């Protein structure tokens, strides 16, 4: 706690006072471009791994970067998504998993959750991920299974996200783009899924115009 307290003092006396103009603009309101949904893990900070500034990302973090399907939970997740999309008008939503995710490890080993009833119950929202692994990765074990779990889980949350009416409506109008990412802690880079080639690949070294193409294609539009 002492580090936090001295950090607060340092922020006020050095950062805030030095960049007063920037901070006073933030007081007027926010218009973040992106809703970033990530894990609560202390090693995966969205603003640091994307080098974003205050005001740029609207952030939703929970254990295991889970997006419950619409109606499955009336918790803060749905409200945060609704506010970001309908009020703030974010243009992009990122769901970002990460290597070494403890929540996904727990999903693979539910026997370790006997004394954590709330975590166990929360991870029920990721049951579809577990089923996908059971049915498609029965031969895969250990680290390789965790790696597959992290990627499949992000894609499953992209599907859950689209059950939210506000998201579905904006996608239909082409006003929202979805991104499925995985942060690799050991490499310090981000893999992005592209529906075009159906795989995850690193964004590092890509020209931003090329990197932008690594996204989840919008839902098929029905002609009206
Ligand atoms: Zn995690």
CA of 146 to the centre of ligand 1 (A): 11
At residue 203, the pLDDT reads 95
Token pair 């990627």 is at which residue?
151
The answer to whether residues 17 and 70 belong to one domain is no
The secondary element (H helix, E strand) that includes residue 95 is strand 92-98
CA of 171 to the centre of ligand 1 (A): 27
Please indicate, yes or no, if residue 218 is contained in any of the structural domains. Answer: no
Q: Over the chain, what is the mean pLDDT?
A: 93
CATH number, domain of 59, equals 3.40.1050.10
The answer to whether residues 8 and 99 belong to one domain is no
| 188: alpha, beta or left? (left if phi > 0; alpha if psi -120 to 50) | left
The tokens of 199 are what?
Answer: 């795989």
The answer to whether residues 125 and 164 belong to one domain is yes
At residue 125, the pLDDT reads 94
The answer to whether residues 22 and 121 belong to one domain is no
96-145 confidence digits (pLDDT tens) = 999 999 999 999 999 999 999 999 999 999 999 999 999 999 999 999 99
At residue 71, the pLDDT reads 87
The count of structural domains within the chain is 2
6 Cβ contact list (under 8 Å, min separation 6):
none
Please indicate, yes or no, if residue 189 is contained in any of the structural domains. Answer: yes
51-72 confidence digits (pLDDT tens) = 999 999 999 999 999 999 998 8
CA distances to 23, 106, 157 from 5, rounded to whole Å, are 20, 33, 36
The answer to whether residues 21 and 104 belong to one domain is no
Cβ atoms of 180 and 159 within 8 Å: the answer is: no
Q: Tell me the pLDDT band of 167, cut-offs 50, 70 and 90.
A: very high
CA of 150 to the centre of ligand 1 (A): 9
The answer to whether residues 66 and 152 belong to one domain is yes
At residue 144, the pLDDT reads 96
Q: Tell me the pLDDT band of 217, cut-offs 50, 70 and 90.
A: confident
Please indicate, yes or no, if residue 224 is contained in any of the structural domains. Answer: no
CA distances to 7, 34, 50, 146 from 59, rounded to whole Å, are 22, 8, 12, 25
At residue 220, the pLDDT reads 54
Pairing of strands 177-184, 92-98: parallel
CA of 105 to the centre of ligand 1 (A): 9
The answer to whether residues 77 and 15 belong to one domain is no
Please indicate, yes or no, if residue 55 is contained in any of the structural domains. Answer: yes
CA of 196 to the centre of ligand 1 (A): 27
Q: Tell me the pLDDT band of 186, cut-offs 50, 70 and 90.
A: very high
- Is 221's pLDDT higher than 70? no
Residues of the domain holding 12:
1-29
Q: Tell me the pLDDT band of 74, cut-offs 50, 70 and 90.
A: confident
Sequence-ordered alpha helix ranges (H) in the chain: 2-10, 17-18, 20-27, 46-49, 76-82, 102-108, 117-123, 127-136, 142-161, 165-172, 208-213
The answer to whether residues 24 and 127 belong to one domain is no
């Amino acid at each position: 706690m002492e580090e936090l307290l001295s950090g607060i003092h340092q922020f006020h006396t050095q950062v805030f006072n030095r960049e007063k103009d920037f901070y006073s603009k933030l007081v007027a309101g926010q218009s973040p471009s992106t809703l970033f949904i990530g894990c609560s893990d202390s090693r995966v900070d969205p603003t640091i791994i994307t080098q974003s500034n205050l005001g740029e990302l609207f952030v939703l973090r929970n254990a295991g970067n889970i997006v419950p399907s619409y109606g499955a939970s009336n918790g803060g997740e749905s409200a945060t998504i609704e506010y970001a999309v309908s009020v703030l008008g974010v243009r992009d939503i990122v769901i970002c998993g990460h290597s070494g995710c403890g929540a996904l490890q727990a999903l693979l080993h539910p026997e370790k959750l006997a004394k954590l009833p709330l975590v166990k119950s929360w991870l029920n929202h990721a049951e579809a991920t577990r089923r996908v692994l059971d049915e498609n990765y029965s031969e895969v074990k250990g680290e390789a299974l965790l790696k597959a779990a992290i990627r499949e889980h992000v894609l499953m949350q992209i599907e859950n996200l689209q059950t939210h009416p506000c998201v579905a409506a904006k996608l239909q109008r082409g006003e929202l783009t979805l991104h499925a990412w995985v942060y690799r802690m050991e490499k310090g880079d981000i893999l992005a899924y592209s529906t075009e080639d159906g795989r995850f690949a690193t964004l590092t070294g890509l020209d931003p115009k090329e990197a932008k193409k690594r996204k989840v294609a919008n839902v098929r539009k029905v002609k009206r």
